[in-house]
A and B are shown apart, each in its own frame.
Chain A
Amino acid sequence: MLFKFAILVVKSLGRNKVRTGLTSLGVMVLVAIFSVVTNVTSVVKSKVNAQGEQTRLIVSERWTMPSRVPLRYIPEIAGQDGVADWTTMNFLMGFLDESRRRDRQAIAIATRPDNLREMHEGARGIDDDSYDAFLTRKDAALVGPGLLKTMNYQVGDSFTLLAARFPPIDIEFTIVGVLPPGEMSNGFFCRHDYYMEATDDRDAVNCILVEIEGAERAKELAAGLTLDYENRQPSLKVETESAGVARFAARSQAVLQIIDGVVAILLIDMIIILSNSISISVRERRVEMAVLKVLGFQPLHITLMIIAEAMLVGGVAGLLGTGMVCGLSQLTIHEVIPVMAWNKFLLQFPVPWSAAIWGMLIGAGVGLTGSVIPASSAKSVKVSDVFSRIA
């Protein structure tokens, strides 16, 4: 019974191939851009909303930005009860050539090399050889794939970061490995000891990242450290990693809200396209609905058939649209297609294959929402009315 019903649905869709094709293409294109946009925002939001993982604390200067936390504070903080691991971070900003264009700008994080993979999410997937080279070579840089492609760098090349902030010292680095695609795609990691040596900035770091054993202890420690350092010069601000990210994300709230609005519009647009197409189809098939009723189909059967048609079109289009974006993302990451301005962001925000499933579900959901009104109009077709008109 179910199989026959499925065949009926597929055959109904196959009857007007142009319409089914155009509707699918419309939904496909919109689901594709929807998945790209939501992928970017969800990366930001997942960082902000990492409520369950509040075991990381960011220690920075209480008042000013760029923050300067004295190095003398580190032993005191690292020695606190419950501190599992810690690292320092200095943010270097500079240009990769004398043109000093924005697309030649890079951000680097100078940090402790020995626990890089444990403390920095962006460095978790580095291969052992690259990591060993990073530990061995002082001027080593682990460079993001986006940056590598923009500058046409190779592993083993040396480059100079022309300082764009204080201290105004240009620093030379040697590329020892490539970072996995993700948040550090357009940046690189370098060693803090080398940074200190090159800039002679040996007194302070921008912030300290501390890993705490347990969320409860992290909360206690954050409050305790803030209080302990309140009257020190400089005083400190201790917050969870997600709170820190949220503070920065809040600065771009207007952009994020616009993106959320665009996402909503994309969804509504998809529903309109699908609903319009199904409505036209229902209007054209009133005789067919009447015949089905004569043959014993209940109004519920007809409703389900229309909804199933819409969900099938939406689901398949969603799967194809997101699948296309996932494929494009993977091809970009694996360098099958050259990295250019239009696809470079996929190195920073790679779309995982799991997104295809979400795409299918969203497509099917759009189909369900968009078909409610046409389906209810289809089920209320009056057999006598339809046949009297034909007669």
Chain B
Amino acid sequence: MKSLELLKTAWQSLRVNPRRSFLTMIGIIIGIAAVITIIALGNGVKSKMVATFKTTDSGQQTTEIDFVSDNGKTFGFDKQDLIAIEQNFAGKVVSAKFNNPSTGITSAVQVGNSATEMLNLAIVKEPLAQNLIVAGKNFTTQTFTAAKPQALISKALAKRQYKNISMAIGSPLFIDNVNYVVVGVYEASQQADAQAEDPTTGDVIVPKVVFAANTNSKSQGNAVKLTIAKGQNASKVTKKVVKYLEKNGSAKDKGTYNYFDIGSVLQQISKFMDTLTLFISAIAGISLFIAGIGVMNMMYISVSERTQEIGIRLAIGATPRNILMQFLLEAIMLTVSGGLIGFVLGWFLANGIAVFIPGNIKAVVTLNSFLLAFGVSTAVGVIFGILPARQAANKNLIDILR
């Protein structure tokens, strides 16, 4: 008998009792869905880790050390610090560079004729979204190519300084004694998120080319990006650099050096996920086992209900092997259907849960997950279907037809 015919026969038999078939599948669905969900989330955490440790092509990793000054004015690093780091950690640190932020820069700013104040400043490399501009003009590409000393200020700042926000347009603005002209007023974007480095969260926005050329950001900074040599433990090396800076840094008495070890945090999450995966897998394993017993039970009932059918098939020339395959295939079809439904359900579930996990983790469903769902459900079908199928195949034909 051809395998296609066997499949068709199995399908027809299962269709006779759809409710029973579905109920039997539920255990498999739950078991597989649970496993797929947890694996998808675990994969998500791992891919997030990989993305965070932006490993370069040569296998190097980068880390960042921040400086928080006590008075808010002093820069934490100068050129000497960088040279010293590169020299003292030769072989471990490939390079040390300033990593000055583009948002949240605190700087002394004088707007129009008012007194100088400390404001939150952002630098940009391209114009803002046009819909954020509420008065005046946006930056243009020319602003950047020609390095025009133009500035945008927030609606809040404009309101504070002028009666009418449009009066701010054309006013002079001084940062580090460099003269900018206010060309527009913007409103903070609705989705403003400090973490996402949205420039509109600050009060003043200036073009990066102009700002960088006129400040000492090239020789000073509050953040240093370290490129760690291949094969080194990035986290350990960075911690040593921090210790070195605390002893020898140019600003060691004026603030603190911080290294936020995102890697170790993610590793902890990953470890937690591994434990959770193990735990959920154990539960899913029990669920699949019980589901398997359910399949076995249903198949035994099916075999005894269909004794006549088995007899007929044997009488007209089916071999015991044909009968065995028919019932085994029914069991497998049942569990694999359950496995595939469970796979899809797990996929949805993982995506749904990922929304509520902090750290912007996405569920990642891979081909391996699919193969796992497929393989496990097939295995359950075979393991728990073989005994009833054998019972069917070994039925005594004479007894049945009597």
Q: Do A and B come from one complex?
A: no
- A: residues with CB less than 8 A from B are none
